Amino acid sequence: MRENDHMEKLMKLYMKEVVTRHGKLMDFQVGDKVMLKVSPWKGVVRFGKRGKLNPRYIGPFQVLSKVGDVAYRLELPQQLSRVHNTFHVSNLKKCLSDESLVIPLEGLHVDDKLQFVEELVEIMDREIKHLKRSRIPIIKVRWNSK
């Protein structure tokens, strides 16, 4: 009986050490949105950036199915058709975006100079900050973005 308790304690200690050193493997469900890690790949979509400014993750992509214990098949867009659609769980990260906060691109208007068009609706608040000899006007404005 004592030997079983000793082995159980050793097993728990070993598992605790493994989890603290390597972390838990993520588990995704079919239909979840995930981000795909692309930083170590060569020749994959780079979005015109090099080095540190290169995006580490792209996406979000939808999980189509689980393949084995630690791999997932993703729904990739046509631009990534040359990339195999099955990835190890270590190359995926859960996408925590809130769909209600997404701004639709159809509602944004850009002028000929590619500047965002905004119109003043109302001045909500005014305040003047005094710094030694200078005064800085601070104005809170509500904008109508087109």
Distance CA 55, CA 78 (A): 19
pLDDT in tens, 35-76: 888 765 555 545 555 666 667 788 889 999 999 888 999 998
How is the chain split into domains, by residue range?
A: 26-97, 108-145
Q: How much of the chain exceeds pLDDT 70, in percent?
A: 71
Is residue 75 within 8 A of residue 31, CB to CB? The reply is: no
How far, in Å, are 43, 53, 74, 122 from residue 36 at the CA level? 15, 17, 9, 43
Per-residue pLDDT band at 95 (split at 50, 70, 90): confident
Number of H helices, E strands in the chain: 1, 7
Predicted TM-score (pTM) of this structure: 0.53
Architecture in CATH for domain 26-97: Roll (2.30)
